[in-house]
Amino acid sequence: MPKKKIKKVEEPEIEAVVTDQGITETLKVNYMPYAMSVIISRAIPEIDGFKPSHRKLLYTMYKMGLLHGNLTKSSNIVGQTMQLNPHGDAAIYETMVRLTKGNEALLHPFIESKGSFGKVYSDMAFAASRYTEAKLDPFCEYIFSGIDKDAVEMVDNFDGTQKEPSLLPTAFPNILVSPNKGIAVGMASDFCSFNLGEVCDAVCEYIKNPDVDLLDIIKAPDFTTGGYLLYDRTQMEEIYKTGRGSFKVRCKYSYNKKDNCIEITEIPYSTKVEAIIDKISALAKEGKIKEISDVRDETGLNGLRLTIDLKRGADHEKLMKRLLKNTTLEDTFSCNFNVLIAGSPKTLGIGEIIEEWIAWRSECVKRELYFNLQKMKEKLHLLLGLKEILADVDKAIKIIRKTEKDKDVIPNLMKGFNIDEIQAEYIAEIKLRYLNKEYILNRLEETDELEKKIADTEDTLKSDRKVKSIISKQLSEIKKKYAKPRKTEIIYEFDSSVPDEPVVLDYPVNVVITKEGYFKKILPPKSDKAKVEEQKLKENDSIVSSLLVANDYDLVCFSDKCQVYKAKLDDFDEIKPSGLGDYIPAKLGFESDENVVSMIVTKDYKGSVALFFENGKAVLIPLSCYETKTNRKKLTNAYSSDSKAVGIFFVPEIKTRSDNKDFFLTSDGGKGMIVNSSILTSKVTRTSGGVICFTIKKGQKIVSAAEFTDDGSEERKEILSRYRKTKIPSTGTTITNGKQLSFLN
């Protein structure tokens, strides 16, 4: 077949339209209306504590009868809300999700829910609206209080087919109770939530005395996710005064010793479980955290639980300190109390917000009172007309009966009893059975009550004090019915500095301790053949002990002021034997006239400390008494101050008989004795003064105590047999050969 020729159609040239309009004019005409719409009609909450999307949704549910009705499918609610809210169903449903009890975003949720609505602390997706059900929570009776009595202004919806409230007449300061976050154009708003009971009390007190210190009543913000709030009064005062500032919230956790894991059950409101897990995983991959073997989300029906499995030997407290610093397990909440007041955004402090709310709520109460007043006056007007026929009921019946046309009944009654059309209409509609004396008298009694109520209402409308009294009464009622205990605990004293401590490496070191209080950490020789260097010491100083231990051990130093100073061996630098080492009183911050009595190196705090005092007493204290859960550097009242300590020694955990130690004690009365640690009395109280070990005369004292080791020599055996005491207390043995006891020096 021959191909058809296709005619080419020439397109007409389109001329570009160029307008002579300046950039400022373009922004003013095209951008400013959008910006104002976002600020006023979308992102910033108003004094009732709601954004337009929240208000439209809740009002729709109220009109659907869901305050007292049964649960209905969420999709029904979303569909109905679209008549007021010109947005897609997804945006409306997402707004609804946050207001539900199931989502746990609000301390006092407005919507009862059935189905999966996700969680505020997780990225877990919520179920589609066709699967979930909802209705208004009974708590909502106080956000719609008086809405059908003209408490607030009703305005047209977006297409002018319906009316909707400009604000909801909340009977409590929802602006402070419900958290709210919004980002507008050029400004933002970020409200934390406060405890309902505290807020109600604060408003009641503010009504009585505007100069009340609100910080004493509203202690601090309160969040649904709990945790610990690190309280800084200066920060809180700034937030309460200006509406701007920040504070820190810390997670709540516990250590499971059996499974060697950390279980986190509450996290800051401003973070999510997934963000925490991602950050911990990243830190582990970067090698900054080596103590974690696994981290997983075990959140279930019992609530949030984030589990961190630890490797064997990991210090969970040290690890948590680093996690708090490097993850959102401790997070900052920044406050920006930006609220729309009469259509204008204003950043207000707590006191100013309460003042604005009271003024607005007073207007709502007055409008409701005025509505009731008008209804009562209308009813009274009808009853006064009824009163006119009381004198002659038969006359009224006669007028109606003799009137030929229906349209003439009302005019004839008006003429016959000198009443107006409304009253005549009311009388004409009364059933024949009610035209008895009893009915009419009952209505007249009601007239007297109405007149009293009208007088009281008019009196209340003229008195701001009485209007505020109504507000206070409602707040007290709300607190009694719906107030809950705080979920976020307040920590008034806390360690604000959280050091990012590196993992302490475990490797062998030689530790040298001298009599004058010097300390050396020396790397051991790389081989047995390496030349051993001579230890350099200060003049007249001597080595008390030289031990091969690990770098992750603790150094426990006893001072002559009954204090203990603790440090990690890792805190000291390695030096060569030719160096003098660190002077412990200077290194650990001793007081000016404080000296070292003894130093002990330990890792597990097993074993005991043997203490000998000038008064002849001695005691064994478990070394575990000096172990602390927190990383405390100084312990006061570490041992008894009843008498000066002449010797403090470490006694290892007794596993074999050889683990017991002998100590040689001498008195200024020229006597000495050797006592074994196995016969010393053990006490579990650090400040125990012990029992008499060495019996001395009045005015005498113990002058020295030293470890005694039997090296197998004849001289040592002779000393042991002469001075050994198997029972205490003992008077000791007279020292006859002082030179023989040179080891005491």
Angle between helices 437-462 and 350-390 (to 10 degrees): 150
Q: How far apart, in whole angstroms, are the C-alpha atoms of residue 170 and residue 163?
A: 19
Q: How is residue 374 written in tokens? A: 């008008």
Q: How far apart, in whole angstroms, are the C-alpha atoms of residue 222 and residue 107?
A: 8
Report long-range pairs for 375-379 (Cβ below 8 Å, ≥24 apart).
376/450, 376/453, 376/454, 376/457, 377/454, 379/450
Q: Give the closest residue to 647 by CA, choosing from 560, 545, 730.
A: 560
Given 62, 93, 121, 131, which residue is catalytic? 131
Angle between helices 393-402 and 350-390 (to 10 degrees): 80
Angle between helices 350-390 and 409-417 (to 10 degrees): 90
- Give residue 621's identity as a one-letter amino acid code: I
Residue 269, SS3 per DSSP:
coil
Contact 461, 170 (CB under 8 A): no
Helices (H) and strands (E) in the chain, counts: 18, 34
Q: Give the closest residue to 155 by CA, choosing from 272, 19, 282, 41.
A: 41
Q: How far apart, in whole angstroms, are the C-alpha atoms of residue 713 and residue 67?
A: 97
Q: Count of CB atoms within 10 A of residue 144's CB?
A: 21
Q: How far apart, in whole angstroms, are the C-alpha atoms of residue 203 and residue 355?
A: 9
Give the CA count within 13 Å in the CB-facing half-sphere of 459: 7
- DSSP class of residue 525 equals P
Q: Give the closest residue to 42 by CA, choosing from 441, 313, 345.
A: 345
Helix segments in 64-194, DSSP class H: 74-81, 89-98, 174-177
Residue 487, classified by CB atoms within 10 Å of its CB into exposed (0-12), middle (13-18) or buried (19+), is middle
Residue 188, SS3 per DSSP:
strand
In Å, what is the CA distance from 433 to each residue of 392, 440, 442?
A: 16, 11, 14
* Secondary structure element (H or E) that encloses residue 318, with its range: helix 316-326
Per the annotation, the verdict on 131 as an active-site residue is yes
In Å, what is the CA distance from 704 to each residue of 517, 574, 638, 666?
A: 17, 32, 21, 5
Helix segments in 64-164, DSSP class H: 74-81, 89-98
In Å, what is the CA distance from 71 to each residue of 65, 115, 179, 482?
A: 10, 11, 25, 21
Q: How far apart, in whole angstroms, are the C-alpha atoms of residue 151 and residue 165?
A: 9
Sign of CA dihedral 81, 85, 88, 90: negative
Q: How far apart, in whole angstroms, are the C-alpha atoms of residue 36 and residue 218?
A: 33
Contact 651, 608 (CB under 8 A): yes
Quote the Cα angle for 661-666-668, to 5°: 165
- Give residue 164's identity as a one-letter amino acid code: E
Q: How far apart, in whole angstroms, are the C-alpha atoms of residue 551 and residue 38?
A: 61
Catalytic residues: 131
